[in-house]
Structure 1
Amino acid sequence: MSCQGYDLIGDIHGCALSLRMLLARMGYRQVNGVYRHPQRKVIFIGDVIDRGPHIREALQLVREMVEAGQAHIVMGNHEYNYLCYMTPHPDKPGEYLRAHTARHQRILQQTLEQLSPYEGEQQDYLDWFQQLPLFLEFERFRVVHACWHQELIDRFRKEYGGNCIDKAFLYRSAVEGSFEWEVMDRLLRGTHLRLPNNEVMVSKDGFRRHFFRTKFWMPDPQYLVDVVFQPDPLPAHLARLPITDDQRQDLLCYGAEEKPLFIGHYWRQGTPQPVTSNIACLDYSAVKFGKLVAYRLDDESRILPEKFVWVDVAREVHLANAEVGAS
């Protein structure tokens, strides 16, 4: 197959029906059980698992496309979290790389319930997750789940010889403050700042948060409101606080002259559109009845609003389910 373009797809989170609808909308058809397009390939941005109703089906569809050469994929923070949650700690008998707390259990609950009856299959997916690249760089564009951090990526390439982790890296990534921990935190979760004065935000999904996610492309932000990048706004009394010198050290700037970058992770809302002229976020909260979004990349050097395509989950999947129920 001669690939003439790429279709980049955002966070799926177990929304397999929406994924099938989106692939069909873009001209992909199942051939010998695998979705294919005569001229194009898919790139999945990560977070195939957790929260949604059809995680196992989504995993099977995605993995079959990747292994048949019809798609690429990068690791999402949810694949990484699940991998750590299921990996015994090498130095602490009875413990795991990701602690089995109530909060972590809640996030992973749907994946655990849907995969645990298939023990061999579950282990096979865990092995596959560890092999997923953290980032992809092509001649004209880049892909990472949450944030492109050039300094960390350069060091990772030098020390690990590519874009994939090994078991030793996985173990070290559980040590907070280590280089390996920082790689996973920045590339898969993005940049963030601690809320001033030890304040706590309660997000719309009920989690108490001491940090907020930040933009990594602002050249000269002045106030906290200038860098917040998440669905939940900062409290008004914090939003207008000036950015301190210490906070500025934790911010990045992906320059406007850099290659187009495709990310997921950030639970955007509304009509899909470019974040900047060279950054597209493709996570539009599909599992929360938002949109499952793709960007149809050809040879353009800037992100174009008209190249986004999506499935409106609340409307279209509801209609599809209603038609099935009426038949």
Structure 2
Amino acid sequence: MRLDPERSYDLIGDIHGCANTLERLLDKLGYRKISGVWRHPSRQTIFLGDIVDRGPRIREAVHLVRDMVEVGQAACIMGNHEFNALAWETPAPPGSGRLHVREHSERHTRLIAETLEQFAAYPAEWRELHDWFYQLPLFIDAGRFRAVHACWDDSLITPLRAQFPDGLINEKFLKASAVYGSFANTVFNRLLRGTDMRLPHGLTLTSDDGFTRSFFRTKFWEENPQTYGDIVFQPDALPELAARTPLSELQKNELLQYPSDQPMLFVGHYWRSGKPSAIRSNLACLDYSAVLYGKLVAYRLDQEHRIDANKFVWVDVEKPELPQ
């Protein structure tokens, strides 16, 4: 999907059902609700995905974002949670060894439970939403800047464009992702979930959400890492033994790079904390853990070619976001 690079945009990170907070952020950015839709006289919003799951007002958040997109006030890319919702509902192809593209495991059920519950009384809306998710591109490339939910990988995006020039995938491609190691499977994992690496020495870690993992999320821009601790990019710290373990030369060479001379890239996904800021002059993550009472963050993009530290705007998520 291509946008006018000369226009001004407000890029907004993962919402996860925090509709009240999103309205507060839009108001702070100068948008006003007119005829039921949030609008700005000169700017447009780009949502970085993960509108659904986890939060208290998922249905309201989806309607707000979808209404803005449909009247041309916003664009929205697909996050891994929108993909998860599609994959949850979609039968897997024969021979894949599963019933649905996304297995209905205990962990997956927990992750989508809030969304399914909040749409339970609105089955027709849920079916329509399923179709709308297919209208969310996997990436935006406006030339001067780019947006993807988790990770930009030219080695995947270039052949993906050959099949889907606008980044909009179809059900056939989604079904193909049920086969581990397939091109579709690799695309969704890399672009929507990022890069990862197995913990050394057979170690595991248990995250704050109670899930035990043997893999951890890694940076895709570090230029000269030496240890596992240098490349970790997630809220959960590595076990001390893992963090100080040296990376092999093979591991270093296999790490993905997003060079500093590439266009500005905006991602969500990674649950950052603290004061919003750029990772590098051409890379910013706008996910600051809104649904965990962090911040809902926007970046006000105008005509700059490098990220300006003064153009991050945010609101803190307040306790009233929870149902009363």
User: What pairs up with 1:36-185 in 2 under 5 angstroms?
Assistant: 36-91=39-94, 95-185=99-189
Deviations 1:81-106 (A, max 9, x none): 11101112232798211111110000
| 1:23 alignment partner in structure 2 | 26
| 1:167 CA displacement | 1.2
Q: Deviations over 1:210-247 (max 9, x none)?
A: 11111111112111111110111111111111112443
| Equivalent position of 1:247 in the other structure | 251
Q: Which runs of 5+ in 1 are unaligned?
A: none
Report the residue type matching 2:236 in the other structure: D
Percent identity, aligned pairs only?
53
The alignment covers a number of residue pairs equal to 319
SS at match of 2:304: coil
Does 1 or 2 have the higher relative contact order (CA < 8 Å, sep 6+)? Answer: 2
Aligned match for 1:189, one of 190, 193, 212: 193
What amino acid does structure 2 have at the position aligned with 1:187?
L
Residue 288 (structure 1) aligns with: 292
Match for residue 10 of structure 1 among 9, 13, 35: 13
Contact in 2 for aligned 1:43/1:73 (Cα 8 Å):
yes
Q: Secondary structure of the residue that 2:300 maps to in structure 1?
A: strand
Cα 1:58–1:321 shift into 2, 3 Å: closer
Change (3 A) 1:321 1:229: closer
Could you say if the C-alpha distance between residues 273 and 155 of structure 1 is closer, same or farther in structure 2, counting changes exceeding 3 Å?
A: same
Q: Which moved more, 1:282-291 or 1:92-101?
A: 92-101
The aligned residue for residue 229 of structure 1 is 233
The Cα shift of 1:321 comes to 8.5
Is 2:215 the partner of 1:211? yes
The TM-score with structure 1 as length reference comes to 0.94
- Tell me how far apart the structure 1 counterparts of residues 254 and 132 of structure 2 sit (CA, whole Å): 32
Q: 2:242 aligns with which of 238, 243, 266?
A: 238
Q: Secondary structure at the match of 1:108?
A: helix
Superposition deviation, residue 162 in structure 1:
3.0
**2:203–2:242 CA contact under 8 A, matched in 1:** no
Contact kept, 8 Å, 2:93 with 2:176, in 1: the verdict is: no
Runs of 4+ in 1 over 3 A off after TM superposition: none
Structure 2 CA distance for aligned equivalents of residues 122 and 219 of structure 1: 43
Relative to structure 1, the CA distance from residue 321 to residue 144 in structure 2 (aligned partners, 3 Å threshold; closer, same or farther) is closer
- Aligned residues of 1:75 and 1:129 also touching (Cα < 8 A): yes
- Residue 32 (structure 1) aligned with residue 35 (structure 2): yes
CA shift in 2, pair 1:321/1:231, >3 Å: closer
Q: 1:90 to 1:9 in 2, by over 3 A?
A: same
| Residue aligning to 2:203 | 199
Q: TM-score of the superposition, structure 2-length normalised?
A: 0.94
Aligned to 2:134, the other structure's residue is in SS state helix
The letter for the 2-side match of 1:177 is G
- In the TM superposition, what is the alpha-carbon distance from 1:123 to its structure 2 partner? 0.7
Q: Spell out, residue by residue over 1:255-283, the C-alpha distance to the aligned partner (whole angstroms, 9 max, x if none).
A: 11010000000000011011111111000
Which letter maps to 1:13? Answer: H
* Contact kept in structure 2, 1:191 and 1:250, CA below 8 Å: no
Contact preservation (8 Å) 1:156, 1:162: no
1:271 aligns with 2:266: no
Aligned-CA RMSD value: 1.8
Is the CA contact (8 Å cut-off) linking 2:9 and 2:46 kept in structure 1?
yes
Report the AA paired with residue 152 of structure 2.
W
Give the letter aligned to residue 106 of structure 2.
Answer: A
Q: Distance in 1 between matches of 2:210 and 2:20?
A: 26
Pair 273,261 (structure 1): closer, same or farther in 2 beyond 3 Å: same
Contact 1:193 1:250 in 2 (8 A): no
Q: Structure 2 vs 1, CA of residues 158 and 210 (structure 1 numbering), >3 Å: closer, same or farther? A: same
